[in-house]
Structure 1
Amino acid sequence: MSINVVTLVGRAGRDPDVKYFESGNVVCNLTLAVRRRSRNSDQPDWFNLELWGRDAEIAANYIRKGSLIGVNGSLKFDHWQDRTTGVPRSRPVVRVDRLDLLGSRRDNETAANSYNYSDDEF
C-alpha cells in the first residue's frame, strides 16, 4: 500500500500564472507560503502548486498574492535538463485535487499588503 497525500494551508506567494491550451484544458501554477508551527521560524516554507481544469479557473479568478487558501493533492516531481549546463534537474510540485478559498476578500487584500515574504526566497 502507498499513500501520496498533501494538505497545506497558507498564502499565495504571487498572482496565479494561467495557461489555456487549444484542447480546452487550463493549467494554473502558483506558489504557496506556509508558516511552520514553530515559534523559532520566521521564514515560511514555499511550495509550488499546479491546478488543472475548474480549480485552475477558480484560482485565476479569485486568488491574488496574499490570498489565504487551503489545498489537498499529491506530490509529484517535474524533471528537465538545464539548458545551459545540460545537468538533469527536478523540483517537487503539489498537484492540487481540491482548492479551498479561505478568508474574506478584505482579509486577502490586507494580507497582500502586510504579509512579509518574497517569492524569490524559494
Structure 2
Amino acid sequence: MSLNVVTLVGRVGSEPDIKYFESGSVKCRLTLAVKRQSRNSDEPDWFTLELWGKTAEVAGNYVHKGSLIGVKGALKFDTWSDRNTGATRTSPIILVDKLDLLGSKQDSNANFSSGDDNF
C-alpha cells in the first residue's frame, strides 16, 4: 500500500493565478504560508498549490491574499531543464483535491483590504 496525502492550513500569500484553457479546463496556482508548530522559527513554510476544475474556479472567486484556507491533496514534483545550464530542476507542488475556506467573510475582507502580511 502507498499513501500520498498532504493536509495544510495557512494563509494565502498572493492573489490566485487563474488560467483558462481552450479545452475548457481551469487551473489555479497560489502560494500558501503555513506556520510550523515549533518555537525555533517565526518564518512560515511556503507551499505552491495547484487546483483544477471547479475547485480552481472557487479559489479564483473567493480566495484572496491573506485568506485563511485549508487544503487536502497530494505532493507532486514539476520537472524541467534549466535554460541556462541545462540542469534538471524540480519544484514541489501540492495538487489540491479539497479546498476549505476558513474564517468568516468579514475576516477575509479585512485581510484583503489591509494588505496584512502577518502570516
Return the TM-score normalized by structure 2.
0.93
Task: Tell me the C-alpha RMSD between the 2 structures.
Answer: 1.2
Deviates more, 1:80-89 or 1:104-113: 104-113
Aligned length: 117
Q: What is aligned with 1:30?
A: 30
Q: Secondary structure at the match of 1:2?
A: coil
Deviations 1:30-83 (A, max 9, x none): 000000011232100000100000000000000010000000000000000111
Q: Aligned pair 1:115/2:117, yes or no? A: yes
Q: What is aligned with 1:42?
A: 42
User: 1:20 and 1:101 mapped to 2: Cα distance?
Assistant: 22
CA contact (8 A) 1:66 1:109 kept: no
Give identity over the alignment, percent: 64
CA contact (8 A) 1:13 1:31 kept: yes
Matches within 5 A, 1:92-111: 92-111=92-111
User: 1:77 and 1:107 mapped to 2: Cα distance?
Assistant: 33
CA contact (8 A) 1:33 1:44 kept: yes
Return the TM-score normalized by structure 1.
0.90
